[in-house]
Structure 1
Amino acid sequence: MSGKSLKDGKLGPWGLLKEVFNWYPSDYPASERKLLFKLDLSILVFACLCFFVKYLDQTNISNAYVSGLKEDFHLNGDQLNYLNVCYYTAYVVFQVPTLLLISRPQLARWLLPTLEILWGICTFAQSRVTDINQLYALRFLVGIFEAPVFAGTHFILGSWYSGPELFKRAGTWFLCNALGTMVSGYLQAAAYTNLSGVGGMPGWKWLFIIDGIFTIPVALIGFFVFPGVPDSPRAFFLTESDVDLAKERVQRANIRRPGKMSLDVFKRTLKRWHIWVFVLSYACMILSSYPTAYMNLWLEAEGYSVTQINKLPTVTYAINIVASWLGTTLAAIYPSWLIYSIASLCCLFSTLCMIIWNIPKGLKFVAWYLFGTAGCTSPILYSTVNTIVKDDSEERALIMGAMMTFGYSFEIWVPLLLFPTAGPDGAPRWRKGWPAAFAFFFLLWVGFISAIVIHRR
C-alpha cells in the first residue's frame, strides 16, 4: 500500500527528494505518462478548484460571525453552532444517496458540476439575507449541494489511480481544504477593511459575493473537463486509446469497475469489517478536529483586532497545506502507519496543551498551529479505503458515503454538548471538549492502525 520502501536502504536523501516530486515514473510507457498528465489536468484542476470554493464557503460562516454578523443580527452565541447544524444535517442526509449516484458511470461526469452551480446560486443568496432564519435555510441548501464533493472526489481518484499515484494526488487535492480556509481569512479581512458599507452592505456579506463569483466559473469548467470514471461517456480530451489504457490500468491494479447497482451492496458491505472500522475512525476524525478550527474565537477572547482574528489562524492552514501534500506523499514512500502516527502525535500534544490551558501564550500559538499537521490524516485515510476496498466499486462508494454520514451526524449534536460557544465552559476554553478531543485523536489513530493490521492479516 505504500509504494517504495525506505527499509531496504536504497533510497537516500537525494533519491527521496526525487521520489517526492516523481509523478510520472520513467519506467511508465510514454502513453501512460501522457494519460496521467491529462487526468491530472482534468480531475485535479477541477477537483482542487471545487474543493477550494467549498471550504471557502464553509469557513465564511465562522469568519462572518466574528466580523459583524453577530452584531448585525443581534446573536447571543450559539447561533453559530445552529448554522453549522443546518449545514451538516443536510450534508449528512444526502451523503450515501449522492455517493451511490456518483458511482454510476452515466452520472459521474455531470453530478458534481451541476450541484456546484446550485450551491453557487445559494452562496450569492447568502449575501442578501435580512435575518438569521433565512441564513439557516440557505445553509441547509448549501449542505445538500456540497454533500458529495469530498467523498465523491476521493471515489473518482480511486477509480483512475492506485498505489503511490493515488496517495500523492489525494494529498495534493486535499491541500485545497486548508487553502480555501486560509484564503477566506484574508478575503474576510480585506472585505471588512475595504468593502464595509459599499453598496449599503457590511463587509461580511461581500465575502459571500466574492465566493459566488469564484464558484460559478469553476462549475462551468467542470462540465468541460471532469471525466467522471473510466466507464463514463468519453471526455473530449481523451482518445479511445486513452480510455482503453485507463481501463487496462484499472484491471492491472485489481480495481473493480462499476457493476450493477442493487440492494445487495448493503448486505455484502455490512458483512465485511471495512465499513465498521473506517466509519468509526472517520467519526473520531471529525469530532477531534472540530475545536481546532476555532482559533479565531480564542483570538477574539484575547482582545485581538478583527484583522488579526482573520489573519493569524491562516498560519495553521499554511502548515495544513504542507502537511497534506508532503505527509501524503511520504505515505506513498514510507509505511503509511508511520506518517499517520507522527501526525497523530503532534495533534495529541497540541490537545494536551489545550487541556492544561494555563500555559505561555507563545506555547498556545504553537499548539494551535501544530493542529495543522493533521492535514495529511484525512487523505491518507481515504486513500487507504480506496486501496483496501478496490475489489468492490459499489461497496467503496457506500463506505465513503457512510463515513461522511456518520462522521458528520455526530458533528450535528456533539459540539452542542462538548463545544458550546457561550457559557463558563464555552469557547475557546472547553473544559469538557478538549479532553474529549484528546480521546478522539487517540481512537482515530487506533482505528487506522487496526485497519492496516487487519488488512495485512
Structure 2
Amino acid sequence: MVFRRRWQMNLQWNKFTGCFDFISHSRFIPRLRVLPEELQEDGSNIQSDESLSVESHVIHENKKDSENEAEEEHEVSENEEIDGLRTNMPYELRNEAGRRWYKYFDEYEYRMNEEYKKSRKWYEFLYPNHATQTKAERKLLYKLDLVLALYLLVLCWSKSVDTNNYTSAYISHMREDLNMKGNDYIYTSTISNIGAIVFQLPFMYLLPRYPAHIMLPAMDMGWTWFTFACYRAKTLAELRAYRFILNAFGAAYYPVSQYLLGCWYAPDEISSRVCLFFCGQLLGGVTSGLLQARIFRSLDGVHGLAGWRWMFLIDAVAISLPTAIMGFFILPGIPSKCYSLFFTDEEIRIARARNKRNHIKDSVKESELKPLWSKDIWKKVFCTPAFWVLVVFDTCSWNNMTAFSGSYSLWLRSNPNYSIEHANNLSVLPACLGFVYVFICAFGADLFRCKWIFMVFAAIMNTVSCAILIKWDVSSSAKWFAFLTTYFSVSASPCLWSFINDFLRLDPQVKAVTWIAIYSISQSTYAWIPSLAWQTIESPRFKTGYTVSLIFGAIYGLWTFVVLYFYKRNEKKHALGNGIILYDTDKDIEIPQFVHRDMEEKNGYYYLKE
C-alpha cells in the first residue's frame, strides 16, 4: 500500500513537472517549429520516447488549432511544382507583339499577371489578400505587422535615438566637456561608421546559417552596453572608442532586418512595411531632440553628471536593453525555419505557400550551402550587372542625405536667438515632417504598384532643397522651407530597399552576400565623403556638403530609370515563375508546347491539368 501510494505521488509529480516543462520550454522559449507532416516525411526528426512525449503534445495542440481553422477557412497547401509549373496557379498567356513603348514604365509588367493585379481592390493595398482570398491569410498579415514590422520599428527607433543622441549631446555641452574642436564632430562620426562597415562582413557567412532571433538581439545587447559606456567618457579618444565598438555591434542591423522583411512579405506589401521600419528612424530623431531638451533642463548637474551623460544612461537602460530582451522572444525567423511563439502551424503553411506564389526562396538546406569562399557565389554576385547597378543606387542614396548631416541642428545652435533647450526642441521639426514624406512615398508605392515615380519625385524635392541652401543668401522663409524638406532625401529609402529585396529573392545565400556587399560598399563611401563634404569648420553654411548632396540626389533620380530597366529585364527572365507565359508572333516565338500538352483554360487563365 505504501509503495503504491508513493508510486501515485511520483506519477503525479512527474505529470506536474512535465506540464511545467511544457509551459516553460514550449510556450515561452522560441524553438524551431517542425510541422507534423515534416515529422512524418523526415526520418531524421524521430526522437526518443521521452523527448517525443512533450513534442507530441505540442503537435497535438497545433493540429487541433489547424483543424479548427480549417473548418472556417479554405485549406491552404503549398503549390506543387511540375516542370517549373505549379498546380492551382493561374497563368496568363501574353502575346508580346505590338507592345507599346510606355509599357517600359509599368514596373510590375512582368512581376505580376493580370489575375494577381485584379484580385486586389485599391483600398486593400495594405492587405492585398490576393493568394487565397481567405481570412487566414489576412490574419497572418495582421500578426506579421504586430510581431515583425512593429518590433523592427521599435528596434530602429531605439538605435536611432542612440545615434541622434550624439548630435544632441554635441550641442548640449559635450563639445565643451570633451574639448572637441574643428572637425572633431565629423571625424568621430566617421570613426563610428568604420566600425559598422568592418563588422558587417562576417554576416555574409552568418546570415543564411543562424537564426535572426538570436543574432539581432545578441548584437543589440552589445550595442546597449557601449551606449551605457558613453556616459562615462572623460576624453574624446575614449568616446571615439566607445562609438566605434557600439556601431560595430549595430553593423548588420539594417541588412538583417531587410532580409527578414523580404522573406515574409509580397512585393506589393513590402514598401509599406519597410516604411514602418524606417519610421522608427525618424521617430528616433524626434525623440532624441525632445528627450535631450527635457533631460538638459531636469537632470543637468544632478549627482554631478552633465545632461548629455544622463541621456546616454537613459538610452541604454530604459530603451535599448528592454528592446534587446524582447527580440529573443518576438522575432519569428523565416517561414521555412520559423521560431515564432505566436504563429500557428496553419499560418506557417500559409506563409510558405505565399512565398511559392510570389517566387520567393527564403532559405537553403544546410547541406546545400556553399562555402563563403566558393567562386560560384562571388561570380553570381560580382559578375551580375544588377549588383553594380544597385551599388551605385545605394551609394547615391547614402550620400544625398542632407537630413542626417546634422547641419540643421548646427544652424540652430549658431543662432544666438535660440537657447540650447529651444534648439533641441526645434531640431525635431524636419524629422516630424519626414514621417509625412516617407508615408507618401512608401504607401504610394504599394497603392499604385509603382516605386520609381515616388523615388524620382523625392529626388527632385531634395535637389530643390539643396539648391536653396547652396544659394544661402535667401529669405528666411525660403531657408526654412529648404531645411524642412531635407527629409525628402531619405523618404524614398523604403522603395529602394524593396527594389533590392525583389532583385535578390531567388537565392538566399547570394541574397545574404549581396545585401551585405551592397551595404558595405555604399556605407564605406559614407565614411569618407561626409568628412570631406560636411566639415564642421564650414558650419553652419556647409556649401560643399549641399553641393555634394545635390549632385548625388540628381544622379539618384536619373539612375532610377536604369534600375527600372534592369529590374524589368530580370523579371522578364522569370516571367513564368510569376505566372506569365510569354510568346511573340512578331518574332515568330510561338506558344510553348507545354501549354497545349499540360494545361487547360479556365476563365481566361491557364491551369496545370490535374
| Alpha-carbon distance in structure 1 between the residues aligned to 2:272 and 2:146 | 14
Question: Which residue among 419, 426, 435 is the counterpart of 1:321?
Answer: 435
Question: What pairs up with 1:203-214 in 2 under 5 angstroms?
Answer: 203-212=307-316, 213-214=318-319
| Counterpart position of 1:185 | 289
Q: Does 1:156 align with 2:241?
A: no
| Secondary structure at 1:103 match in 2 | coil
Whether 1:455 and 2:567 are equivalent positions in the alignment is yes
Partner residue in 2 for 1:420? 535
Equivalent-residue separation in structure 2 for 1:23 and 1:189 (angstroms): 42
- The correspondence for 1:348, drawn from 459, 463, 466, is 463
The total of aligned residue pairs comes to 445
Q: What amino acid maps onto 1:399 in structure 2?
A: T
The CA distance in 2 between the partners of 1:93 and 1:26, in whole Å, is 41
Correspondence 1:214-293 to 2 at 5 A: 214-259=319-364, 260-262=369-371, 263=374, 264-290=376-402, 292-293=405-406
Change (3 A) 1:46 1:99: farther
Match of 2:183 among 57, 65, 78: 78
Q: 1:46 and 1:258, CA in 2 relative to 1: closer, same or farther beyond 3 A?
A: same
Q: What's the secondary structure of 1:449's corresponding residue?
A: helix
**Among 497, 501, 523, which residue is 1:408 paired with?**
523
Percent identity between matched residues is 27
- Give the match for residue 109 of structure 1: 213
Question: Aligned to 1:258, what secondary structure does the other structure show?
Answer: coil
2:544 matched to 1:440?
no
- Determine which structure has the larger helix proportion and give its number: 1
Partner of 1:430: 542
Query: Secondary structure of the equivalent of 1:351?
Result: helix
What is the RMSD of the two structures over their aligned residues, measured on CA atoms? 2.2
Match of 2:160 in 1: 55
Cα deviation, 1:277-299, whole Å, max 9, x if unaligned, reads 11111111111115654201111
CA drift of 1:214 comes to: 0.5
Q: Is 1:307 the equivalent of 2:412?
A: no
Q: Is the 8 A contact 1:321 1:375 kept in 2?
A: no
Q: Could you tell me how far 1:43 is from its partner in structure 2?
A: 0.8
1:380 equivalenced with 2:479 (yes/no): no
1:398 CA displacement: 2.1
Please say if residues 186 and 531 of structure 2, whose CA atoms lie closer than 8 Å, have aligned partners that are also in contact: yes
Kindly state the Cα deviation for residue 332 of structure 1 after the two structures are TM-superposed. 1.2
Given residue 452 of structure 1, which amino acid in structure 2 is its aligned partner?
L
TM-score, normalization: structure 2? 0.70
The answer (yes or no) to whether the contact 1:101–1:108 under 8 Å persists in 2 is no
Q: What is the rounded CA distance, in whole Å, between the counterparts of 2:514 and 2:424 in structure 1?
A: 36
Cα shift readout 1:240-298 (whole Å, capped 9, x = no counterpart):
22222211111111012322143332221111122101111111111111565420111
* Alignment CA distance shift 1:218-1:232 (3 Å): same
* Deviations 1:112-131 (CA, angstroms, capped at 9, x unpaired): 01111111111111111111
Matches within 5 A, 1:93-132: 93-104=198-209, 106-132=210-236
2:436 paired with 1:331: no
Asked if 1:88 is matched to 2:193, the reply is yes
Amino acid at match of 1:67: S
Question: Out of 379, 391, 409, which is 1:296 matched to?
Answer: 409
CA distance in 2 between partners of 1:413 and 1:343 (Å): 25
Greater C-alpha radius of gyration = 2
Q: Check the 8 A contact 1:319/1:373 in 2, yes or no.
A: no
Does the CA contact (< 8 Å) of 2:213 and 2:333 recur in 1?
A: yes
Structure 2 residues without counterparts, runs of 5 or longer: 1-106, 570-610
| Distance change (3 Å), C-alpha of 1:448 and 1:127 | same
State the 1:342 CA deviation.
1.2
TM-score (norm 1): 0.92
Does the Cα contact within 8 Å between 1:292 and 1:368 map onto a contact in 2?
no
The aligned amino acid for 1:299 is L
